[in-house]
A and B are shown apart, each in its own frame.
Chain A
Amino acid sequence: MSEASRVENPYNEWINDNISHKKAGDVWLALTGYRDGQIKSHWLRANGRIDEVKTACMDAQFASLTPSLPEVAWDEREIHDLFGYHPKGHPDLRPLVRTPRWPASFYPMQKQSDDHIEWTDVEPDNPAKVVEGEGITIMKVGPTHAGIIESGHFVFSIIGENILHLDAHLFQNHRGVEKALESLSVQEAKPLISRICGADTVSHQYNFLSAVEQLAGRKVPEMIEWQRIILLESERILSHLNDLAQIPAGVGFTVAHQRGLAMKEMWQKGLSAIFGHRFLFDAMYQEKLAVSKKEQLQQLLASFITQWHKWRKLADRQQGFHDRMRGVGVVKRDDAEQLGAVGVALRAAGVSVDVRTLMPLYRHNRIHIPQVTGGDVEARFQVRLQEVEHSIALIRNALEHLQGNQQDTSWSIPDDLTGEAVSYSESPHGLNAHVMQIQNGVILRYHVKSGAYRNWPVLAFAVAGNAVADFPLINKSFELCYSCADR
């Protein structure tokens, strides 16, 4: 940014403060819009503190951060779509969430009432960004798919067998979850929070409870903290098992795919018997479960580990499988950092960031971060292998600390809960952050910024230059959920 533009731009503080945080290596948690015209960004610093930077819209406009921080491109488009605030200077303001079916004056996050909406009877497709030129073909896929997959619409620009550009049109599954959470009480919001996403539900539950407890000033008993670690790590194993089983399917390695799915099923059945739900929906809200089931969990771990070693051997020794994954869907370190990649995708590019190292919940644990550098499908596969084994170790450690009756009878959610809280956790799909604003026990604003949301633009970047036929493989190596991105 030149000196001249520093002087001219009334928002230079907003832009410069955010740039300084990025330069300092802070982790960007969320960019949140509010009905009163405020825009806030929250940064997680290396010392674990959360810093807030804010600006206010003038004439429904605010200065876009995207030219300096490309990772916020989607967030600003979303604010534009849902609030009607214009991010001035944004290089690509095509609709992201809204569709031509939405009434022109309809900005759902501005709306106070739940009036019936008159959707326009047209196709929901938004303009696609494609590459034009001789020999280039455009291939559209979705939103419905040939198998059992979440809905998403992809527009590929292809030359020969290679992808030049992928324009991902997500938000087909946009239900309006954040708006649906408004005006609910903490109790009423719980089941909705659990169901933001079937793959990262525990992480969402944790963030919600963490936000509520920050405002209520609750000192969470250590036994309950150990249980939360068990739940978060159990979910990580479940999700990684799913992804590890899906990657072999991308190259036709059916044995590893089927045995991987069977292993996932075994783990999932076990979790269901212990925590009462196959996906751990609402599991963290019940605080007295794990101790009585300690032995059951130890047995499950023991039989799981036997299966795991067998499966790892099968996957490890197939050199053809690994050759097939190497050099495919590469995201280099610099690109991963600039695009705001998180989770497995970031660590596979050689960046040692895992926010569990900053979460107070894990203060008694040493978090091992896999040292992998390739940034390709193989690297993402290897990171997951190591993380499953580390999660097993974390669960074992937590089980050793679980003893006695840890029910916290003194705790109940205060009726008059008021304030704003930001919470985060490392979901199986990477950094997941929530921002909650609540007044007298009623939610005013709830914003969810999931790991998948952050990584979708990274996936689109990763597939460029690769063969079209490798898209399923690259896609599976990210295995991003649509639901917690679309909300």
Chain B
Amino acid sequence: MIQRKKSLQCRHVDAGSCNACEQELTALLSKELDIQHYGIDIVASPRHADALLVTGPVTDTMQPALKKVWEAVPKPRQLIAVGDCAAGCGVFQKAYASHGGVDKVLEKPDQTILGCPPDPEKILDTLRELMNS
């Protein structure tokens, strides 16, 4: 676990978000917040990831892809629900093609970042806490 204290590599999957959570995650990479200088980054492959960031209420069409990505993340791993939709308390969780949150499809997330969408600072704080825990 010592290595994880020094970095946190995240893979992101959009599972039906309205794109506001994506915009806030993108803001983490801007020069203002610059998550990379804390040792946190978004990686291109789930195989390189320590954590999976999921946004959206998990649409049925995205469910198989999401499961495959999660299976590809090596253990130990962290599942992080970003935003109300992924956390199961968003406005679209009862829509017919929505599974109503990441816990319904994968497992209970290790971290839940509430907000519609959550502020980028809040996402950053949670990721840093997770990295240092």
In the complex, A482→B18 CA distance in Å? 8
Distance in angstroms from A303 CB to nearest chain B CB is 15
Q: Which of A142-150, A319-327, A388-396 contacts B (4 or more CB under 8 A)?
A: A142-150
Interface size on A, residues (CB 8 A): 48
B62: chain A residues at CB < 8 Å are: 143, 151, 172-173
Contact of B30 among A175, A197, A199, A258 (CB under 8 A): A258
Contact of A281 among B16, B32, B60, B116 (CB under 8 A): B116
Q: Is the CB of B18 within 8 A of A483?
A: yes
Beyond A150-B14, A150-B22, A262-B30, whether A143 also contacts B44 by CB under 8 A is no
Q: Is the CB of A143 within 8 A of B96?
A: no
B101: chain A residues at CB < 8 Å are: none
Q: Is the CB of B19 within 8 A of A199?
A: yes
Beyond A151-B62, A198-B117, A262-B32, whether A173 also contacts B23 by CB under 8 A is no
Contact of B61 among A101, A177, A281, A481 (CB under 8 A): A101
Q: Among residues 18 to 74 in chain B, which have CB atoms less than 8 Å away from a CB atom of chain A?
A: 18-27, 29-32, 42, 44-45, 56-57, 59-62, 64-66, 69
Q: Which of A30-38, A70-78, A188-196 contacts B (4 or more CB under 8 A)?
A: A188-196
Q: Which of A117-125, A212-220, A291-299, A438-446 contacts B (4 or more CB under 8 A)?
A: A117-125
In the complex, A171→B62 CA distance in Å? 9
Does A265 sit within 8 A of B, measured CB to CB? Answer: yes
A195: chain B residues at CB < 8 Å are: 18, 20, 90-92, 116
Does B9 sit within 8 A of A, measured CB to CB? Answer: no
Give A123's nearest chain B residue, CB to CB. B64
Q: Is the CB of B116 within 8 A of A261?
A: no
Does B2 sit within 8 A of A, measured CB to CB? Answer: no
In the complex, A462→B42 CA distance in Å? 30
Does B119 sit within 8 A of A, measured CB to CB? Answer: yes
- Chain B binding surface SS class: loop
Interface string of A99-117 (1 = CB under 8 A from B): 1011000001001001001
Contact of A279 among B56, B59, B61, B117 (CB under 8 A): B117
Q: Is the CB of B16 within 8 A of A175?
A: yes
B16: chain A residues at CB < 8 Å are: 151, 172-175, 486
Distance in angstroms from B97 CB to nearest chain A CB is 4
How many A-B residue pairs have C-beta atoms within 8 angstroms? Tell me.
137
Does A347 sit within 8 A of B, measured CB to CB? Answer: no
A483: chain B residues at CB < 8 Å are: 17-19
Distance in angstroms from A378 CB to nearest chain B CB is 24
Distance in angstroms from B51 CB to nearest chain A CB is 14
Beyond A99-B61, A124-B60, whether A242 also contacts B92 by CB under 8 A is no
In the complex, A149→B31 CA distance in Å? 19
Does A139 sit within 8 A of B, measured CB to CB? Answer: no
Does B79 sit within 8 A of A, measured CB to CB? Answer: no
B30: chain A residues at CB < 8 Å are: 258, 261-262, 265
Does A447 sit within 8 A of B, measured CB to CB? Answer: no
A148: chain B residues at CB < 8 Å are: 12, 22, 25-26, 29, 42
B66: chain A residues at CB < 8 Å are: 144
In the complex, A144→B64 CA distance in Å? 11
Distance in angstroms from A152 CB to nearest chain B CB is 9
Beyond A151-B14, A242-B23, A265-B30, whether A177 also contacts B116 by CB under 8 A is no
Q: Is the CB of B92 within 8 A of A192?
A: yes
Does B13 sit within 8 A of A, measured CB to CB? Answer: yes
B98: chain A residues at CB < 8 Å are: 175-176
Does A179 sit within 8 A of B, measured CB to CB? Answer: yes
B22: chain A residues at CB < 8 Å are: 148-150, 198
Q: Is the CB of B17 within 8 A of A173?
A: yes
A102: chain B residues at CB < 8 Å are: 60
Distance in angstroms from A282 CB to nearest chain B CB is 10
Does B95 sit within 8 A of A, measured CB to CB? Answer: yes
B27: chain A residues at CB < 8 Å are: 261, 265
Contact of A198 among B20, B42, B61 (CB under 8 A): B20
In the complex, A483→B90 CA distance in Å? 15
A192: chain B residues at CB < 8 Å are: 91-92
In the complex, A258→B29 CA distance in Å? 9
Distance in angstroms from B133 CB to nearest chain A CB is 24
Does B102 sit within 8 A of A, measured CB to CB? Answer: no
Does B94 sit within 8 A of A, measured CB to CB? Answer: yes
A180: chain B residues at CB < 8 Å are: 92, 94-96
Distance in angstroms from B61 CB to nearest chain A CB is 5
Q: Is the CB of B119 within 8 A of A278?
A: yes
Interface string of B70-83 (1 = CB under 8 A from A): 00000000000000
Q: Is the CB of A114 within 8 A of B23?
A: no
A199: chain B residues at CB < 8 Å are: 19, 23
Q: Is the CB of B65 within 8 A of A143?
A: yes
Distance in angstroms from A346 CB to nearest chain B CB is 22
- Beyond the given A148-B12, A176-B97, could you list 4 further A-B residue pairs with CB under 8 A, ordered by the A residue number? A150-B17, A173-B15, A175-B59, A278-B117
Contacts A/B (CB < 8 Å), 22 sampled: A123-B64, A124-B60, A144-B65, A151-B62, A172-B61, A176-B92, A176-B95, A176-B97, A191-B91, A192-B91, A195-B90, A197-B18, A198-B21, A199-B23, A201-B20, A262-B31, A265-B27, A278-B24, A278-B117, A278-B119, A279-B23, A486-B16
Sorted from nearest, which 5 A-B pairs have the closest CB atoms? Answer: A198-B20, A146-B44, A176-B95, A176-B96, A180-B95
